Structure 1
């Protein structure tokens, strides 16, 4: 006689893991071979590039290498670690996966400047053919990349993708189809990467907007995440109900309550990396203003203050007054 299986096992096609604990979140392992292969391969390539630069005598910050490895590690944990063990059967755990992919891992990847590292490490071809370096630069400067790297497009992609994904059959498809699940991982990681790159990236690409506009985009996205999380927390309709509603987990899980808890996590956790980005943007803005002030000071020293005098004269004309005298002119009168 066939062995009886639980509803959860019948739906997911896999044994039900033990009840979630902190240890289970840390040590749980459900390998996604394709994602792990990609992550390990990327880590090996990054370390190879770093070693190549060191052998050549070129400096490259070790902190950037570490940042890239942390970002890859977060993707690996999200797809194969404790988050993956529970993300298939608990909406709250799935939301942990989502927020790490779209909000946390991209920060480490962007700060690692992978494109700049690749451009410096890969050899350039002088015979007119296209090698990996030339293809990478062509992709970075392509029209498609330029469109998705536009600030508003990047922000709308992050926010709009969440609505399209969770409130359409795509969400349940990602639970029942592994290719769709892989597509979710790739899409949200790239969407988060493009958005963070607009804000604090250093890699080559389209011109980044002014710092005020970057802050507006960031705070708008923070507000959307808060709204999205609140809508899940207050919602009374179960998403992917035929999946989560039929699992009958042995720990006595209320699927709707778990979804609401997932919304609360999205609301709260989403603000943490966003605030970190806001602080980073503020500091970068201050440093940029300081560099601009130093450039103006050097220019003033070279031309004897002519640029500042012309600026003051323009202000005086706009105000309808006379052209102000330079301080050294006042003292000679």
Structure 2
């Protein structure tokens, strides 16, 4: 596959996202800065993957693994944390918004966002790409599948986009452990097959991305469950003869 093709989503995804965000700002609506930073970081990682040198001192296999980690694991997780679907729902006019909501509530959408299905899809990428005898011509479509599966899984367990039946933090963490275990075993089997430093990088890099996703899962849980400070008493003066507090 031509890695330079990653420059297209590296530019279009952040540009489209920021254009939609500007629509909100012109209406006077706010949007979380952290989400905008996440999509910019995703685009930056895709650009790094596209421009990574073909081979270095450790060999071409390591360069391929770096690109795979950035483009199909790290960048999709950041994109999921940016909440692109939620942003589109905020910007769309009423009629297109209703169409998109119906699509999100369809049987197909409920099936692929059911956490066991999303877990299987996310876990399947590494063994298929590194262990299965997939023809070289199919590596490009397989990379697209892996990236989309990573984005879908991160959306289900940690992202701000609307998902019906989103699992709780404990279930999400268990699903993440399943994905991490499959990736770890795949890396070890690939190492046993002679991949050497590339397999070690896949093992360590996969763990880094999955730990970061776990942090996002529990950060979401904390934001939803942390007690909010109670509003203080309204300060005022007493109106003669009524005893009611009149706000200043």
TM-score, scaled to structure 2: 0.80
Q: Structure 1 60/288 Cα, relative in aligned 2: closer, same or farther at 3 Å?
A: closer
Tell me which residue corresponds to 1:304: none
- Whether contact under 8 Å (2:10, 2:42) holds in the other structure is no
Unaligned runs of at least 5 residues, structure 1:
1-11, 15-29, 126-130, 175-179, 236-255, 298-333
How far off its partner does 1:134 sit? 4.2
What is the distance in 1 between the residues matched to 2:218 and 2:13?
31
Tell me which residue corresponds to 2:7: 36
What is the distance in 2 between the residues matched to 1:42 and 1:287?
27
Tell me which residue corresponds to 1:278: 214
Q: Does 1:90 align with 2:60?
A: yes
Tell me which residue corresponds to 1:167: 131
Q: 1:290 aligns with which of 222, 226, 237?
A: 226
Q: Does 1:147 align with 2:147?
A: no
- Whether contact under 8 Å (1:233, 1:260) holds in the other structure is yes
- Whether contact under 8 Å (1:232, 1:264) holds in the other structure is no
The 3-state SS of whatever aligns with 2:94 is coil
Q: 2:177 aligns with which of 196, 213, 219?
A: 219
- Whether contact under 8 Å (1:116, 1:204) holds in the other structure is yes
Unaligned runs of at least 5 residues, structure 2:
231-248
How far off its partner does 1:109 sit? 0.6
Instruction: Name the count of aligned residue pairs.
Output: 227
- Whether contact under 8 Å (1:95, 1:262) holds in the other structure is yes
The higher radius of gyration belongs to 1
How far off its partner does 1:94 sit? 1.6
Q: Structure 1 148/71 Cα, relative in aligned 2: closer, same or farther at 3 Å?
A: same
Tell me which residue corresponds to 1:204: 162
Q: Structure 1 144/62 Cα, relative in aligned 2: closer, same or farther at 3 Å?
A: same
- Whether contact under 8 Å (1:230, 1:263) holds in the other structure is yes
Q: Structure 1 108/51 Cα, relative in aligned 2: closer, same or farther at 3 Å?
A: same
What is the distance in 2 between the residues matched to 1:223 and 1:150?
20
How far off its partner does 1:107 sit? 2.0
Tell me which residue corresponds to 1:68: 39
Cα-to-partner distance string for 1:157-215 (whole Å, 9 max, x where unaligned): 121232233333425224xxxxx52x233211110011111211111122211221111
Tell me which residue corresponds to 1:111: 81
What is the distance in 1 between the residues matched to 2:169 and 2:44?
30
Tell me which residue corresponds to 2:24: 53
Q: Structure 1 166/272 Cα, relative in aligned 2: closer, same or farther at 3 Å?
A: closer
What is the distance in 2 between the residues matched to 1:286 and 1:260?
40
The 3-state SS of whatever aligns with 2:196 is helix
Give the CA RMSD over aligned residues: 2.7
Structural mapping, 1:18-37, within 5 Å:
31-32=4-5, 35-37=6-8
The 3-state SS of whatever aligns with 1:52 is helix
Tell me which residue corresponds to 1:137: 101
Q: Does 1:262 align with 2:198?
A: yes
Cα-to-partner distance string for 1:250-304 (whole Å, 9 max, x where unaligned): xxxxxx4xx221111111111112122223333433444435xx7xx9xxxxxxx
Cα-to-partner distance string for 1:6-44 (whole Å, 9 max, x where unaligned): xxxxxx9x9xxxxxxxxxxxxxxx632xx4334423332
The 3-state SS of whatever aligns with 1:69 is helix
How far off its partner does 1:144 sit? 2.0
What is the distance in 2 between the residues matched to 1:229 and 1:274?
14
Tell me which residue corresponds to 1:195: 153
